[in-house]
Amino acid sequence: MDYQYNPDLPIIKAGWPGNPVKDGVFQYLQDDFFPDWRVVFRMLTTPNPQRAEKLADKWRPAVVPHSDWLHDRERDFLVWLGHATFVIQLGGVRFITDPVLHSMPFVPRLVFPPFATEKITGIDYILLSHDHRDHCDEKTLRQLLKVNPAARILAPLGMEKTIGKWIGTTPLELAGWYQQYNLPAAVPQVTFLPTRHWSRRGLFDFNEVLWGAFMFTHQDRHYYFGGDSALQWHYADTATLFPRIELAMLGIGAYAPDYMMQGAHTNPEEAVEAWHRLGARRMLPMHYGTFDLGNEPIGEPFRRVQAAAEARQRRQDLLLPAVNEVVELSFDPQPVNQEKGEKNNF
């Protein structure tokens, strides 16, 4: 067994030897996982028990039409652009996570930001959590780099195999789990952390690229972007390393059928449990309402996550912004009430 990490980056967890790799494939620390074609066949040939409900569900995320934030370099804020794409601005530094702003092959996009991708300028760092097509898109990446020529890309080990031909001379820094990217002192810190997922773009490249989450640290406060993940040990582990997490961005969609999805994604109740294990102050759901990737009705994750938070008496700490809505990161201790249209501000 080999152990891989970037020797030019610090490791924040004592005793961590690097990510285990066998025959060029990144290994799991617990409970091996493989997306078996027989499971996919079972999904495709088994009737969906929620088929009628799914067909009747016309819910879509709301979209805010105004985009003044595109030119705002002063405030600390984030904006959800659908699925797992966020623009996050901290200390005047602008990040974008898992940028996918178009339809995918055979999977139409259900909701779009109200502007062209080329309008997103001023990006300093592009973050890619893993190589799946709903998180890593060639067209979007090329468009962003064209209008953000000074941007750098932060990604997991192995990602150069996927995006190397797309990005030209754009600086690319790769990290293993528990590694902190090499950013200037004035820039918020970004750390790559474990998740429970997998990677693949083709038929024969399973787990040749690492997968994970990102932690942003700015002024001693932490913001967690969870990428894709099932519910497992890493959430509690992350909490021990980052004991003051202000916000957790966690996936809540693409969970049905569970025999296929549970090894790689969280359903709404599991996401709320992950929020609890992280010890985060607030949760902002993602990975729902943008692409139809599971058997569940498109609006079910949105409804179930509210019920799950209410059951934990945490509904007031659950943020549900519209697409393109600004969430100000101002640490306002007052709870938000989105149903009444109050500003998302915390």
pLDDT in tens, 71-113: 999 999 999 999 999 999 999 999 999 999 999 999 999 999 9
Q: How far apart are the first and last CA of the chain?
A: 45
pTM: 0.94
pLDDT in tens, 131-164: 999 999 999 999 999 999 999 999 999 999 999 9
- Strand, coil or helix: what is 8? coil
Peptide bond into 257 cis (omega under 30): yes
Closest CA to 126 of 84, 66, 165, 179: 84
Q: Are residues 61 and 111 in contact, defined by beta-carbon separation less than 8 angstroms?
A: yes
What band does 332 get if pLDDT is binned at 50, 70 and 90?
low
Q: What residues contact residue 310 under an 8 Å CB cut-off, 6+ apart? A: none
What band does 331 get if pLDDT is binned at 50, 70 and 90?
low
Cα distance between residue 2 and residue 345, in whole Å: 45
Q: What residues contact residue 133 under an 8 Å CB cut-off, 6+ apart? A: 100, 104, 105, 201
Residue bearing tokens 């601005």: 89
The pair of three-digit structure tokens given for residue 250, joined into one six-digit string: 């966690």
The pair of three-digit structure tokens given for residue 251, joined into one six-digit string: 């996936």
Burial of 291 (0-12, 13-18, 19+ CB in 10 A): buried
Instruction: Indicate if the pLDDT at residue 338 is higher than 90.
Output: no
- Residue 68 DSSP symbol: G
Instruction: Indicate if the pLDDT at residue 345 is higher than 70.
Output: no
List b or e across 20-40, with b for residues whose CB sees 16 or more CB atoms inside 10 angstroms.
ebeeeebeeeeeeeeeeeeee
Q: How many CB atoms lie within 10 A of CB 186?
A: 8
Instruction: Indicate if the pLDDT at residue 227 is higher than 50.
Output: yes
Cα distance between residue 144 and residue 88, in whole Å: 15
Cα distance between residue 259 and residue 241, in whole Å: 32
pLDDT at 43: 86
Greatest Cα pair distance, the chain, in angstroms, is 55
pLDDT at 334: 39
- Beta-bridged to residue 126, according to DSSP, are 96, 153
Cα distance between residue 125 and residue 131, in whole Å: 17
pLDDT at 44: 85
Instruction: Indicate if the pLDDT at residue 344 is higher than 60.
Output: no
> For all residues of the chain together, what is the average pLDDT?
94
What band does 323 get if pLDDT is binned at 50, 70 and 90?
very high
For residues 290-318, give the mean pLDDT: 98
Give the total residue count for the chain.
Answer: 346
Closest CA to 336 of 321, 317, 313: 317
Phi, psi of 320 (to 5 degrees): -130, 65
pLDDT at 343: 44
Share of the chain above pLDDT 90, in %: 87
AA letter at 300: E
pLDDT at 341: 38
Cα distance between residue 305 and residue 266, in whole Å: 11
Instruction: Indicate if the pLDDT at residue 253 is higher than 70.
Output: yes
In order of their start, the domains of the chain are: 63-331 (3.60.15.10)
Q: Are residues 280 and 224 in contact, defined by beta-carbon separation less than 8 angstroms?
A: yes
pLDDT in tens, 1-51: 999 999 999 999 999 999 999 999 999 999 888 777 788 889 889 999 999
pLDDT at 178: 99
Burial of 199 (0-12, 13-18, 19+ CB in 10 A): buried
